[in-house]
Amino acid sequence: MFRSLTEIDDLLKKHNDYRDSCLNLIASENCASSTVRGYLNTKLSNRYGCYESMHPENREYTGNKFIHQFEMEVQELVGEIFKAPLVDLRPIGGHISGVATVLGTLQPGELLFEIHLKDWGHGLVGPMLEAPQFRETIRIESIPYSDHMIDLDKLISMIYEKKPRLIIFGSSGMLFPEPIKEIKAITEKEGIILAMDSSHINGLIAGGVFPNPLEEGVDIMFGSLHKTFPGPEGGFILAKDPKLFKRIGDIMSSALVTSHHLYRLPALAAAMLEMKQFGKAYGEQVIKNARALGKAMDELGFKVVAADRGYTSTHLILVDVTEFGGCKKVARQLEAANVLCSDDFGQLDKEIRIGTAEVTRRGMKETEMKTVAEFFKRVLMGNESSSFIAQKVKEFSSSYSHCDFGF
């Protein structure tokens, strides 16, 4: 229990020093610039900005004159960058934006398709079904996967056979673009809503280095803005159809969100402006680094997924670590050596996920990816102690304490 501000400061310093000494390769994390972080400290904190989905000018609370202006300015900026005519920034996270999308588009008993957790799906609807009220009203089928990609032929057969109302693309282990254009004509003809959880690739989309799902044909795009997109934590919902947008927004507020964390808006605006200026160069380097890391690990004898396809077109690679005892064990071994990455959340205990967004922001390029790969080899294939490697990782990381591609 904290007893003083000094104790808070001391523990925070320990955390900051520790994370600065680590190689953060967690694909769902990133580092915001000092400029972006600085904008989190404003008098927008502790304020309410509640409104009806299609009438943000009608605020439930007084004192919203400039809050309203701020929110509309940021919405317009987000819409410009993501080419979205309708923007909702009220979700306080990517998961909430997804829950709102599901509840706003489905009627009780209707069917949806999503990617299963075992295939690195986001795990949006599956966990919702643990609650009895959802289990009785939501039906779910897993999108067929083969060789770490959506099996398009099987998916098309499932669509015609099972007639889903909603299909959700997007995964936390996405290596390559998903077949949005290939099924858009079918979903449109069959009256199926096509959604995309773009959480992991939002920074790449904003930088123009990955296909924009809205331009390819999805009806709804939702997700978080702190993964490849280096903004403050929070979510968004983007759409083109006002009726669909309203249904989702009306479900979200006030059933899921009332106070929607206005304090993050200035920081989000700053991050958006950073992406306008630096997004393309940042996104290109993120992908170059991911491919270089995949190649380096492949050459060192690791079983990198999709080696025959160039490893990845996103910010991450997947590595089969079954021979080293499974991903849970491996992730903890690496953590002891100050190398941070993700296991597969306990599904198959097979693959680790390695992301390059944060190390790219810290200034690393393809040459450094070879050194990063060597750290994996030393931890998993060598006989060196974790504490010794952790010190070497700390020394290496200390040269990359800045934040590139930002103000």
At 109, is the pLDDT very low, low, confident or very high (cuts 50, 70, 90)?
Answer: very high
Determine, yes or no, domain membership for 137: yes
Per-residue CA distances from 275 to 25, 26, 263, 373, 390 (Å):
21, 21, 20, 28, 33
Determine, yes or no, domain membership for 405: no
257 plus 110 within the same structural domain: yes
In this prediction, residue 129 carries a pLDDT of 82
Out of 270, 289, 310, pick the residue that ends a domain: 270
pLDDT of 346 over the 80 cut: no
Determine, yes or no, domain membership for 52: yes
Residue range 231-264, pLDDT digits in tens: 999 999 999 999 999 999 999 988 999 999 999 9
Q: Give the global pTM.
A: 0.96
369: its two tokens: 């990816």
147 plus 254 within the same structural domain: yes
Out of 270, 303, 338, pick the residue that ends a domain: 270
Determine, yes or no, domain membership for 1: no
223 plus 328 within the same structural domain: no
In this prediction, residue 134 carries a pLDDT of 81
In this prediction, residue 32 carries a pLDDT of 96
In this prediction, residue 232 carries a pLDDT of 96
In this prediction, residue 347 carries a pLDDT of 83
Mean pLDDT of the residues in the chain: 96
235: its two tokens: 């979510």
132 plus 237 within the same structural domain: yes
In this prediction, residue 130 carries a pLDDT of 84
Q: Which CATH number does the domain housing residue 355 bear?
A: 3.90.1150.10
159 plus 198 within the same structural domain: yes
Out of 221, 248, 270, pick the residue that ends a domain: 270
In this prediction, residue 136 carries a pLDDT of 81
103 plus 250 within the same structural domain: yes
How many domains does the chain contain in total?
Answer: 2
Residue range 368-398, pLDDT digits in tens: 999 999 999 999 999 899 999 999 999 999 9
128 plus 252 within the same structural domain: yes
In this prediction, residue 162 carries a pLDDT of 97
Full residue range of the structural domain in which residue 144 is found = 37-270
Residue range 323-337, pLDDT digits in tens: 999 999 999 999 999
At 25, is the pLDDT very low, low, confident or very high (cuts 50, 70, 90)?
Answer: very high
At 137, is the pLDDT very low, low, confident or very high (cuts 50, 70, 90)?
Answer: confident
In this prediction, residue 128 carries a pLDDT of 83
299 plus 265 within the same structural domain: no
198 plus 240 within the same structural domain: yes
Determine, yes or no, domain membership for 23: no
CA angle 14, 20, 25 (to 5 degrees): 125
Instruction: Give the rounded percent of residues in the chain with a pLDDT score beyond 90.
Output: 92
In this prediction, residue 382 carries a pLDDT of 94
Determine, yes or no, domain membership for 7: no
Q: Which CATH number does the domain housing residue 51 bear?
A: 3.40.640.10
Determine, yes or no, domain membership for 349: yes
84 plus 161 within the same structural domain: yes
- 223 close to 204: Cβ distance less than 8 angstroms: no
Per-residue CA distances from 58 to 43, 50, 61, 235, 250 (Å):
21, 9, 9, 22, 14
172 plus 85 within the same structural domain: yes
262 plus 282 within the same structural domain: no
* Residue whose token pair is 């006002």: 242
Compute φ and ψ for 139, nearest 5 degrees.
-105, 140
At 345, is the pLDDT very low, low, confident or very high (cuts 50, 70, 90)?
Answer: confident
Determine, yes or no, domain membership for 62: yes
Per-residue CA distances from 104 to 186, 195, 401 (Å):
22, 12, 43
CA distance 78 to 269: 8
How long, in residues, is the chain? Answer: 407
Other Cβ atoms closer than 10 A to 154? 13
